């Protein structure tokens, strides 16, 4: 399943149309992960690839990236890894993937 489909799986409402761009407005920063967050992303991808062996690796990586991206504006970063992993698992399960029960993580 395409990453774009998984990314919007939990959203049911239509997004409001964006306001016209203001040249003086600050530009929204893209998620720029710290080295610790990058390590968490790699660990999460590895754990989910092992838990969902039937899912393409690129799909798992895109799902995890989308989950982390959804928390890019979180001010408290401590819980982002576990929240992103849970969101990724939910998206993979909603897509019809079955996890290997012997390899399930937290």
The DSSP code for 30 is P
Give pLDDT tens digits for 35-89.
Answer: 888 999 999 999 999 999 999 999 999 999 999 999 989 999 899 999 999 999 9
CB of 100 closer than 8 Å to CB of 54: no
Topology (CATH level 3) of domain 33-94: Helicase, Ruva Protein; domain 3 (1.10.8)
The verdict on pTM exceeding 0.85 is no
Q: Print burial letters for 70-86: b (CB count within 10 Å at least 16), e (below 16).
A: bbeeeeeeeebbeebbe
**Where is 66: in which H helix or E strand?**
helix 57-70
User: How far apart (Å, rounded) are the C-alpha atoms in residues 78 and 48?
Assistant: 20
Give pLDDT tens digits for 64-78.
Answer: 999 999 998 999 989
């Amino acid at each position: 399943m395409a990453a774009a489909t998984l990314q919007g799986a939990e959203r049911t409402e239509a997004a409001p149309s964006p306001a016209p761009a203001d040249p003086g407005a600050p530009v929204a920063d893209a998620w720029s992960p710290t080295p610790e967050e990058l390590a968490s992303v790699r660990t999460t991808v590895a754990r989910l690839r092992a838990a969902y062996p039937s899912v393409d690796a690129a799909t798992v990586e895109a799902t995890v990236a989308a989950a982390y991206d959804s928390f890019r504006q979180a001010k408290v970063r401590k819980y982002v890894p576990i929240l992103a992993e849970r969101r990724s698992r939910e998206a993979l399960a909603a897509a019809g993937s079955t996890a290997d029960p012997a390899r399930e993580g937290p």
